[in-house]
């Protein structure tokens, strides 16, 4: 992804919508050549807030040399954004989602899940407490070639936000190949990289991608269930954003969890970028 990207943003006059628009604008000013913004406010009060936000955002982006097109349409966020994404090719859609617990979390996340399930492009879901800065990004990598695109996107995002990256790989307790050593299933990142493990070579390659892009990066390895370990690492490390691939690799983990990205999105209480694989 060496070219400037095309992004799709929205404003509906809500707090979470404003949060998503603000973060999307920060990214667009560095990475985008063109941005489309959809006005989706329903009430007169929100339309007024949305209109002011969109005009200010458009002026800010145009001052940075970004082309901006504004669309004003009625309808729900998920339907309008998916319809627009079908009409044009985008590299990134930025949406907001309320972070809640239990059944309220599932209901609040349903629109975000609809967009994740229907979009064929990468989606940044902005949720959790508003963050003045995005300083530390947790980028999650599976041991396969599909992760290269995810990590490259994470590198460019980190550059745009002046953030460092921690590369996370979660190892299953089940060996994925007959030649896997028992010790590798409990090893840390440095041990895997220094040894001849497949995962170590993968981590070294992903770190090279990040560092070639000028990003400060290091790797960590956790052992256990993918969703649990990713969410735990994001909280324990106090990361400002997660980056994951839209699909798991075609291994045992992939067969067990086809909606991995949605599970992580619902569980994580911070912005999360889900990178679509070509």
CATH number of 136-275: 3.40.50.620
Each domain of the chain, given as residue ranges in start order, spans 5-126, 136-275
CB 272 within 8 Å of CB 265: yes
**H-helix or E-strand spanning residue 46:** helix 44-63
pLDDT tens profile 119-152:
889 999 999 888 889 999 999 998 667 789 999 9
Extract the residue ranges of the chain whose pLDDT is less than 70: 1-2, 99-109, 143-144, 172-189, 193-197, 247-258, 278
**pLDDT value at residue 189:** 67
pLDDT tens profile 68-114:
999 987 777 888 999 999 999 999 999 998 755 555 554 555 788 88
CATH number of 5-126: 3.40.50.620
- pTM of structure: 0.87
**pLDDT value at residue 112:** 85
Domains 5-126 and 136-275 share a fold: yes
Residue 224's region, left for phi above 0, alpha for psi from -120 to 50, else beta, is left
Pure H helices in the chain: 15-31, 44-63, 77-87, 102-108, 110-118, 147-161, 189-194, 198-212, 226-236, 252-256, 260-267
**pLDDT value at residue 62:** 98
Distance (Å, rounded) from C-alpha 108 to C-alpha 159? 31
Kindly report each contact of residues 190-197 with a partner whose C-beta sits within 8 Å and lies 24 or more positions away, as own/partner: 192/221, 193/219
Q: What number of other Cβ atoms are within 10 A of residue 120's Cβ? A: 12
**pLDDT value at residue 123:** 95
């Amino acid at each position: 992804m060496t070219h400037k990207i095309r992004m799709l943003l929205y404003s509906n006059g809500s707090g979470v919508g404003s949060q998503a628009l603000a973060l999307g604008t920060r990214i667009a000013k560095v990475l985008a050549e063109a941005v489309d913004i959809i006005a989706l406010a329903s009430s007169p009060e929100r339309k007024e807030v949305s209109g002011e936000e969109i005009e200010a955002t458009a002026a800010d982006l145009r001052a940075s040399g970004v082309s901006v097109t504004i669309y004003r349409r009625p309808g729900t966020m998920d339907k309008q954004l998916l319809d627009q994404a079908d009409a044009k090719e985008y590299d990134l859609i930025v949406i907001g989602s309320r972070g809640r617990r239990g059944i309220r979390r599932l209901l609040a996340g349903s629109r975000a899940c609809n967009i994740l399930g229907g979009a064929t492009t990468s989606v940044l879901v902005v949720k959790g407490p508003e963050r003045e800065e995005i300083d530390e990004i947790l980028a999650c990598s599976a041991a396969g070639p599909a992760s290269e695109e995810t990590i490259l996107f994470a590198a460019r995002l980190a550059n745009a936000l002046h953030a460092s990256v921690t590369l996370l790989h979660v190892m299953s307790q089940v060996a994925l190949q007959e030649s896997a050593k028992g010790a590798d299933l409990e090893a840390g990142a440095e041990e895997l990289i220094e040894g001849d493990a497949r995962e170590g070579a993968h981590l070294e390659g992903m770190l090279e991608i990040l560092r070639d892009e000028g990003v400060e990066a290091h790797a960590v390895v956790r052992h256990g269930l993918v969703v649990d370990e990713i969410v735990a690492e994001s909280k324990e490390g106090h990361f400002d954003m997660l980056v994951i691939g839209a699909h798991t690799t075609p291994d045992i983990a992939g067969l067990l969890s086809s909606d991995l990205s949605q599970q992580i999105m619902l569980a994580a209480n911070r912005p999360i970028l889900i990178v679509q694989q070509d």
